[in-house]
Every structure is written in C-alpha cells, then in structure tokens.
A and B are shown apart, each in its own frame.
Chain A
C-alpha cells in the first residue's frame, strides 16, 4: 500500500510540477536576466531596482493591511453564513447557495465598478441617498479608500471561503458539540470552543486562500485603490510594468518572488497548524446529519441580516449590470435614463462573431477544464490529506505555486513557457494554464472533504479485495461528492471569467469571454461589457445548476 502511494505521490508531483513549476522557472530566469525575455545575461539589477524603491515600504504596509483585513472579513462572513445555513433553522436556505456562488461569477472588474457607482463620493447612489436623508453637505462615505478596498475585496473572496467552510461545517460530527452542550456550555461557548477549533483546517484554508487571492487581485486595487491613491502590491507592480513601452516583466517577477515566498510560507505554516488533522476526523460511519439549532427570537433579525447581505452581494451588482447594459452610456438612474433604455448593446454583443466565439471557447474551457482539474485535484488532495509524507508536503506547495504569483506576472510566465512548446496559441495552452493556476480551487474543497473521511472507510475497502483505483471510484469519490461539486463549481465559474492568463495566451480563434470584456472596458464600452457580463453570469449559473443537479442525483442514487 505504501509503495503504491509513493508511486502515486511522485507521479502527481511530476504532473503538478510540470504544470506549475515551468512558468515559475521561466519567471525566475526572467527576473535574473538582462533584457525583456527569460533568456539573457545574468544580472541581479532587477532585484536591486525593485527592492530599493523608496515607496516599496509603504506599499508593503498597505498590502499587509489590505490582504489580512479583507481575508478576515471574508472568512468571518463565510463562517457566519455557513453556520447559519448548515446548523440553524434559518428560513430560505436556498439563498445561501446563491450568495455563495453568484458573486463568483460576476467579473471582479464589474463588481468593483458597481460598488464605485454606489459609493463614490461625488454621485454614488448610496451617498446621494444618505445626503438626502440626513441633509448632509458632503458625501459621508468614500469608497476610494483602504476600507473601501477591504470591503469590496472581502465580499469578492467570500464565495471561495464559504465553499470551503460550508461543506466542512455540514459534515461535522454533532456528538462533539452535543458533548460540549452537556458539559454545560451554551451555544455560543460551544461554537467558540468546540465547533470553530475543530473546523480549524477549513477555516485556515479559507483564510489563506483569501490572502493569496487578495495578494494577486488587481480589480480592486486598480478601480478603487488607484483613484484613492492607496497603493498596494498589485498596483505597484502595474506601475512598474506599465510605465513606458518596453515592459520589463522580469523586474515584476522579481517583486513577485516575495509574494511567492510569502504564499509558500503561509502554506507551510498552514500545514504545520493542521498537521494533526487526524484529530479532526469527524465523519465516521455514524451518518452525517448535524442537529439543527433553533434560533428562536433571533431567527428573523438574522434572516434580515442575510437578506441584506444577499442584496448587497447579488441584487445590487446584478441590478447595476442590467441597468448599465440597457442605458446608452453611464448615467445616474433618472427618468431620462429610463426613457433612453434600449437593447442596442445586447444586439451588438450577440451579433459580434468574436463575442460568440469567445462564449463557445469559455464554455469549453469551463466544462472540460473543470472536469480535468477536479479529477487531478481528487488525487492531489488524497495525497495531501491521507499520505502525509514529506513528498506530499512538496506536492501541496507545488499546487499553490503559480496560483500565488500575482496574476499579471504569472500570465507572462506561462507565455514564456508555452512559446517553447507546440501548444502555444492553442486552446490547450489556456486549458493547461487554467488548471495549473487554479488547482487550489479544486484541491481545497476536496481536501476539506477528505480530512473528514475516516481512513478506515478506505482501508476496509482494500482489505475487502478492492484495488486502490476501485476504492477511489467506489468509496472515496462517492463520499467526496459534496467536495467534488464545490470544486467543480469553483473551477468552472473561475474559468468562465478567467482573465489574467487569457489576456496573455488567447489568440485569434481562442478568444475567451473575459478578454472580450477587457477589450470593452479598455474602450470604455460599459454597456456592451455589462451585456456580455450578464451572459457570462447566465452561463456560470447554468453550469452551477447542472453541477448541483448531477451531484444530487449521485447522492440520491446512493440512497
């Protein structure tokens, strides 16, 4: 058994390594070489220049605050929502599924712009409303600030956090909580002392993913941070590569290396903190139906809170999108605006052959990419959680490698890599790049699910005479269905709106949705952008509904 596991581990290290190390190696080469590509004379100038910039320190402080606070916000919100959904009798639970997924499908750029429309100090709708209601002279809220960035980034990363925490919370062994209640601890105390500590691996995973994500995020820093003159790493990098025409990605990669080091450190810390996750084995054979906590008087106020959240997270941005897609140009809602509404942007977009092609390509990448990605993730998560050798640790770190590089830079790494292969400028380059970069989106939910499958369930299958592959197929995969569905949804909706890699790798014939959206945004065509954005949301929604239905059918088939 051990030797089979070792073979599997090394095979996966080879696959994941090939996917994630190659672009990073190219970037390392690029950061140490003179000139604009990965192959030049050796030099450390780029590091010296990047790290001796006087503004670098302030950027680092801002980045730290931004990244930690937004991840904290998304994690806390995710815990709150997951707990309410899985463990209490809050009404309208379907809302949670929507909250958790819809924001993920909204292109980050659009989501961020929607918030700017609502909260900008000049004519943000909420500010206008507040000024009206409280008869204020000036706008009370200014989104173009650190708190604005934290708020929007926190909301953007909420779905990932939720999709990691909720399945773990759902399959939690109630006996642990019940025993705490019996010991005389109240609901709150039980939550703080038992539930959350036991869920530590999932919570930490969500937090770390949030950190890594917000480090790489570009939409919020550029749309909110730049006007507010709050500079974080992403905008610093942008400034570095955008000033001038001969963009030096090697220098950007040199800065990216510190992000990479930070991310890898975080992952090592995470592994150390959850090394004893055997302690947290919670699903055994005794079923996994958690008890429901009655909220009593708090039920409606809490529901009100959730409704408000879903309004803010979904209704507002989607409404802004629909509105923007109908008015001829950016307008504050008014009688005039409504009178000018038309479907012009829609007909333009739907008659544009490139938009249609990009739709087809994105759909292909989402379905095929997410499926392949999830299959790979199952094996990788298995090794990470169940094998736990040093090599498994290497594998986990590898899986985060290209994910933790700032988006603008890793895209170039992939370009430097793929140009050496026959895959360059084909849709397969996009497919492989997507899987490599977003592998953690598949692995995380899967490993949270794996942690909770007692190893006896697997071992007993082996003793019964089933080969490891049969065991995977008949025992592990069915038990993992919730994790698989989460992983697939995360990956598929990510792939539908993937931008950072696509913008570098897509070529005529391999256009994808987000690149098309970016073109519209670069031309300031918000109307078309919103129309295509809604199409994108609809596609993702369809994929999510399909994935959920398939997942449910599997569950139903198992009785």
Chain B
C-alpha cells in the first residue's frame, strides 16, 4: 500500500513535472528565442538541435574569455544585456553573480550531475576545460611519452615544448597552481619542476588555440594543451600522455541571466543544454569533458582518467602568480 502510494506520488509528480515542462515550453515558444552568450566554441550543432527540438530559436553569441566580463557588465549596466543564458568559466560566472547579472534557477535536467557541480541555486557546472600533455604520436616514441608531469622537466624536451604563456594565460596559471595543490607533494618539488620546465625553453603562445598546430606539423613535439583537439583535429597525429596523476581543468558553468528578455526560453535552453543529448554532442563532436553521468569524449583512455576541477582562483591571485611565473620562465 505504502509502495503503491509512493508510486502514485511519483507518477503524479512526474505528470506534474511534465505538465510544468509543457507549460514552460509553451511559454518559451511564445517568447520565440533564447539568446546564448558563451565562451565555449563549436556548439552550433547543439543550438541547431535545440531550435529543431523545441521550436524556440537558439541564438549563439561567442564572446572570448578576455572580453566576457567587460561585455556583460557593459551591456548589463546600460540595460541592454541581451543574453538569456550565460556560459563561461566558473570564475567568470561567479564575478557576474556578484554583480547581480545571474538569476536563480535550478534545472531539473541537472538531477543526475554530481553534487559538487551544483554550487548554488544560480550556477550549474557542466564540464571541465581539461588540460593534458598532448604529443605528436608519429614523432614521439611510446617509451618517451611522459608518465608523470615531472617528466616534462627532463632535458630531452628542451626546445620541444609549446604552451600558453604562463605569465598571462589564466587557465594555464590556474593549471600550474593546480599542480602545486593537487599533484606535487611539496612546494619545493613543484618549484623545481617549474624551473626544469622553464629551462626547457617552451615556446609561448597566446592561448590553447595555437598549441596543437606546432605539434601536428612537428615544429614542437609536446604541448600543454587540451585533449579535445584529438577529436576536433582528427586525423592529426595527436595523442595525450596517460600520466599517473589526475588531469585538471577549470570548470565550465552555465546560468540564466537575471534580466533575461526571454526567461522561459532561457530555462528551456538550460534544461536542453544539460540534457543527455546535448552533453553527448558536446563530448562526441567537440571532445569536451562533461559532467553528465556516463558520458565521455571519444578519446581513448579518457574514461579511465581522473579529471578534477581546479580550485577557483581570484583575479588578484592569478595576477600575482602570473607575475611570479613571468620571473621563473624568463629564461633568455
């Protein structure tokens, strides 16, 4: 009897939820479109699928990380924020949250996500911008592939490394700090690793974007880069070093804007975004590491890898460490 009641209750709740969903979708359709401001790239297929599946037009505005906060705040303060949904690295959304740009919304689609991804009732984390050692599998012998991060400091990699500039690239700075906090036992070990890496004179580029090209062409052999390129740049001879330590990255998060012109559409979009279908597309087509349970990018070995989110660093901390790294890596 009790069971029956529970079942009935669940059924009712489900029906009610469905009814709610339906109501929300109708409202969203009436609003017509959902504007999506994001720093994540290559998500056009998801936007398209959203439009087809829901009948609400998805509109994707790509804003690079360095201009994200400036653009949002400028529009917000002028009362012209056109975004319904905002996606950016977690620290960016936290900044926006402080300014009151984000609305409260807990998506039912996030139900299966790990608890730590639901930081509060505004921001939902859905992925990790994971960083790994990416090498040219045609030029690097299997035996030479690093087994641990420390191997990157070996002299054999001198003039063979490419990485984003650790003096200013926020994700790289955070990643190096992540190594200190999650991988190395003592700060001294970490510092000697940094010095070894610096002595190998890595080539600095502005961001992760330009890191795979020199590896593909053989100009450099190994990069501090992102495994997603193995998917997006196939059939390039890229592979990632299966190291014994965890992979790390900055969390990617999503939220509804507080003054969203299309609030129902915004919620519908977030629900859709967090759904299994979207996350599968994100993993499969873009190679992203997503936190929806059981979904992995089609990269050999990633399923087994431990991927952790780096602690959020404040801008002051990033700048302080950027200056520090500038000194450490300033090898002429």
Q: A: which residues have CB within 8 A of B? A: 36-37, 39, 55, 117, 120, 122-124, 144, 222-223, 226-227, 229, 238-239, 241-247, 249, 328-332, 340, 352, 354, 412, 415-416, 419-420, 424-425, 503-504, 507-508, 519, 521-526
Contact = CB atoms under 8 A, between A and B. Distances in A.
Contact of B73 (A37, A223, A227, A503): A37
B8 to A, nearest CB: 46
Nearest to B315: A244
Contacts of A36: 69-70, 73
B141 interface: no
A411 to B, nearest CB: 8
Interface string B63-92: 011111111011101101010000001011
A419 B75 contact: yes
A415 B74 contact: yes
A85 B199 CA distance: 50
Given A226-B204, A229-B204, A329-B235, A238 B168 contact: yes
A504 B232 contact: no
A249 B71 CA distance: 11
A48 B327 CA distance: 22
A507 B205 contact: no
A262 B218 CA distance: 42
A123 B168 contact: no
A18 to B, nearest CB: 19
B204 to A, nearest CB: 5
A222 B206 contact: yes
A331 B233 CA distance: 12
B212 interface: yes
B68 A412 contact: no
A330 B210 contact: no
Contacts of A519: 41, 62
B267 to A, nearest CB: 20
A514 to B, nearest CB: 13
Contact of B318 (A244, A415, A424, A425): A244
B128 interface: no
Contact of B209 (A55, A144, A507, A523): A523
Contacts of B299: none
Contact of A243 (B75, B92, B168, B209): B168
A521 B211 CA distance: 11
A522 B70 contact: no
A461 B215 CA distance: 66
Q: Return the 3 tightest CB-CB contacts between A and B, nearest first.
A: A329-B236, A244-B315, A330-B217
A226 B61 CA distance: 29
Contacts of A523: 41-42, 209, 232
A525 B35 CA distance: 25
A330 B236 contact: yes
A245 B216 contact: no
Given A227-B203, A245-B315, A519-B41, A508 B35 contact: yes
Interface of B: 35, 41-42, 44, 59-62, 64-71, 73-75, 77-78, 80, 82, 89, 91-92, 95, 159, 165, 167-170, 173, 203-214, 216-220, 229, 232-233, 235-237, 315-316, 318-319, 322, 326, 330, 332
Contacts of B213: 329-330, 524, 526
B168 A239 contact: yes
Contacts of A425: 80, 82
Nearest to A516: B62
Given A144-B203, A238-B206, A329 B233 contact: yes
Given A123-B217, A522-B209, A247 B235 contact: no
Contacts of A223: 205, 210
Contacts of A242: 66, 168-170, 206
Contacts of A123: 217-219
A51 B213 CA distance: 36
Given A331-B216, A419-B75, A246 B236 contact: no
B319 A524 contact: no
B257 to A, nearest CB: 15
A330 B209 contact: no
B218 A332 contact: yes
B255 to A, nearest CB: 15
A243 B78 contact: no
A519 B41 CA distance: 8
A39 B232 CA distance: 42
A523 B228 CA distance: 10
Contacts of A522: 41, 64, 207, 209
A229 B167 CA distance: 11
